């Protein structure tokens, strides 16, 4: 079964940090991407981690977020620092397998609030 499962979301105060995890199973994913969907807004790209170990982060988060990948565990992580209310969203992991199959995780809620 090919699937992605996110974890690590929750409630955090402004200025705090969270680390999201995405566990992949069933296939090797060539490219893995984090998206987020803020309340009443469209889904937006947060960052991409390709199989060549290159990463791209959205301008709004590039100084605060980092993406890492552990191929041995088939995991991808999103480290989020200096969180603010604009980061409140459902965060999704998306993977593209070596055969081109696109898989989405179910999402994990991140709420930044005092």
Question: Residue 1: pLDDT above 90?
Answer: no
pLDDT at 41: 96
- CA-CA-CA-CA torsion for 40, 41, 47, 51, nearest 10 degrees? 90
Counted residue by residue, the chain has a size of: 114
Write out pLDDT tens, residues 25-66.
888 788 899 999 999 999 999 999 876 778 899 999 999 999
Write out pLDDT tens, residues 8-24.
999 999 999 999 999 99
pLDDT at 44: 97
Of the candidates 11, 33, 37, 15, which has an alpha carbon nearest to the alpha carbon of residue 24? 33
Q: Give the chain's end-to-end CA distance (angstroms, integer).
A: 39
pLDDT at 47: 95
């Amino acid at each position: 079964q090919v699937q992605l499962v996110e974890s690590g979301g929750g409630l955090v105060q402004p200025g705090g940090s969270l680390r999201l995890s995405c566990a992949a199973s069933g296939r090797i994913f060539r490219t893995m991407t984090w998206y987020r969907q803020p309340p009443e807004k469209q889904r937006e790209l947060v960052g991409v981690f390709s199989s060549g170990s290159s990463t791209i982060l959205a301008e709004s988060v590039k100084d605060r977020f980092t993406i890492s990948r552990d191929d041995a565990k088939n995991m991808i992580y999103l480290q989020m620092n200096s969180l603010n209310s604009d980061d409140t969203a459902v965060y999704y992991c998306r993977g593209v397998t070596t055969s081109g199959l696109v898989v989405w995780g179910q999402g994990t809620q991140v709420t930044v609030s005092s």
